[in-house]
Amino acid sequence: MSLKDVYITRIASFLPNEPISNDDMEKYLGVINQQASKSRRIVLRNNGIKTRYYALTREGVSTHTNSEMASLAIKKLMNNNKEELASIDLISCATSSPEQLMPSHAVMVHGHLPETGNVEVVSPSGVCCAGMHALKYAYMSVKLGQAHRAVSSASERLSPSLRADKFELEVKKLSELEANPYVSFDKDFLRWMLSDGAGAFLLESQLNNSGISLRIDWIEGFSFANEMEACMYMGADKLEDGTLKSYLDYTPQEIVNKSILSIKQDVKLLGANIVSLGFKKLKSSIESKGMDVNEIDHFLPHMSSFFFEDKMYNEMKSLGIEIPKEKWFTNLGTKGNVGAASIYLMLDELFNSGKLQKGQKILLGVPESSRFSYVYCMLTVC
DSSP string, 100-156: -SSS-HHHHHHHT-GGG-S-EEE---SSTTHHHHHHHHHHHHHHTTS-SEEEEEEEE
pTM above 0.85, yes or no: yes
What CATH number labels 216-222+267-381? 3.40.47.10
Task: Specify whether the CB–CB gap between 238 and 371 falls below 8 A.
Answer: no
Q: What is the mean pLDDT of residues 312-336?
A: 97
- 38 pLDDT exceeds 80? no
pLDDT for position 174: 45
Q: Which residue ranges make up each domain of the chain? A: 7-163+192-211, 216-222+267-381
Q: In 10 A of CB 332, how many CB atoms?
A: 25
Amino acid occupying residue 249: D
Higher pLDDT, 32 or 279: 279
- Kindly report the backbone phi and psi dihedral angles of residue 43, in degrees, each rounded to the nearest multiple of 5, phi listed first: -65, -45
Q: What is the mean pLDDT of residues 4-21?
A: 97
**What is the Cα–Cα distance from 204 to 208, expressed in whole angstroms?**
9
**pLDDT, tens digit (0-9, with 9 covering 90-100), for 295-306:** 999 999 999 889
Task: Specify whether the CB–CB gap between 279 and 315 falls below 8 A.
Answer: yes
**pLDDT, tens digit (0-9, with 9 covering 90-100), for 83-114:** 999 999 999 999 999 999 999 999 999 999 99
Q: Considering only the C-alpha atoms of the chain, give the largest distance between any 2 of them, rounded to a whole number of Å.
A: 69
**Partner residues linked to 52 by β-bridges:** 20
pLDDT for position 166: 74
The one-character DSSP state at 17 is S
**pLDDT, tens digit (0-9, with 9 covering 90-100), for 168-227:** 655 555 444 444 444 555 666 778 889 999 999 999 999 998 899 999 999 999 999 999
Task: Specify whether the CB–CB gap between 344 and 200 falls below 8 A.
Answer: yes
**pLDDT, tens digit (0-9, with 9 covering 90-100), for 56-77:** 999 999 999 999 999 999 999 9
Q: What is the mean pLDDT of residues 119-146?
A: 97
pLDDT for position 34: 66
Classified by CATH at the fold level, domain 7-163+192-211 comes out as: Peroxisomal Thiolase; Chain A, domain 1 (3.40.47)
Q: Hey, do 7-163+192-211 and 216-222+267-381 end up sharing a CATH topology, with the first three levels equal?
A: yes
Establish how many alpha carbons lie within 13 A of residue 290's alpha carbon, considering only the half-sphere containing its beta carbon. Answer: 0
